[in-house]
Amino acid sequence: MKAAVREIWLPFNVPLEGRVPWMYLDARGYVSTAVGIKLDDAVRVLSPPSTAERAAALATARRLPWRHGTRGGYASDPEIDAAWDMVKSRTDLVPGGCRRFERLTDLRLTEAAIERLVFEHLDELETLLRGRMVRHSSGSIIMPFAAFDSWPADAQLGMLSMCWMMGPRFQFPRFQDAAFTRDWLRCAAECRVNPEIGTAVRRNDRSQELFRNAFRVEDEGLDPEMLLFRIP
C-alpha cells in the first residue's frame, strides 16, 4: 500500500472505532478489541456462538498478549477464555458502547500491542485482497484487486476501509467489476456496506468520498502516491 495510506490509517480509523485495550462487543454483538478488530467467529449477530465458533474465536483471542492491567502479568489461556465468555454474554451492554465493558475484566493490551495488532491485521487484509479470485459478470474468473499496488492512494484507503468493516472476502459483484476496470465513480456508487449501524454511516460516506477522489486523481493526472482525503 502507499506510504500515505499507512501513515493515515490510525488517525482515519480511531475516530470511527476507538482505541480500546479491553474486549468489548461492537454494535452487532461481536467480541472486538483495539481499533475495531474482531475476536469473534459467530455468524449470527447478537446471538450465542456455536461450539465451533467459540473455539475458533478463543484461539484468536489467545494469540494476543493480554495482561492483567497494562503492567501486570500475562493472562493464562483459561483467563482469556473466561474474559471472552463474560464479554460475549453481555449483549445488554451493547447500546452503551465499548466503555460499558471496561470493568468486566482486567485484561488489557498495551499501546504497543494495539499498534502492532492493527498493522499486522491491515497487512493481512491487503495480501488476501490482492489474491482474491471472483466471477465477473461476464462469467469469467478475474482477480479484481490484483492491480491494487497501482491504485491511487485514495482508492487504496477506501478499499481497505471497506475490508476493515467486513473482511476481504465480501461479495459485492458490481463493486468488484468496477474496481477491476478502475471505474472509480461506479465504485463510489456501489461501496456502501449494510447494515448502516453506528459509525458505519460515517465510514460509508468516507468510502464514497475516497473513490470520487481516486477518479479525480486519474482524471486530472494528480499524484497517485498522495491522498486528496483529509481528516475532518
Average pLDDT of span 4-33: 96
pLDDT tens readout for residues 67-112: 999 889 999 999 999 999 999 999 999 999 999 999 999 999 999 9
pTM over 0.85, yes/no: yes
pLDDT tens readout for residues 140-159: 999 999 999 999 999 999 99
b/e map 185-204, b = 16+ CB within 10 Å: ebbbebbbbeeeeebbeebb
Tell me whether strands 141-142 and 20-25 are parallel, antiparallel or unpaired. unpaired
Those residues whose C-beta lies under 8 Å from the C-beta of residue 99, and which sit 6 or more positions away, are none
pLDDT tens readout for residues 187-231: 999 999 988 888 999 999 999 999 999 999 999 999 999 999 999
Sheet containing 31-34: order of strands? 20-25, 31-34, 37-38
Q: What pLDDT, on the 0 to 100 scale, is given for residue 127?
A: 95
Those residues whose C-beta lies under 8 Å from the C-beta of residue 201, and which sit 6 or more positions away, are none
CB 161 within 8 A of CB 206: yes
Q: What pLDDT, on the 0 to 100 scale, is given for residue 72?
A: 94
Instruction: Please give the DSSP secondary-structure letter assigned to residue 47.
Output: S
User: What is the residue-averaged pLDDT of the chain?
Assistant: 95
Q: Where are the domains of the chain?
A: 19-110, 131-220
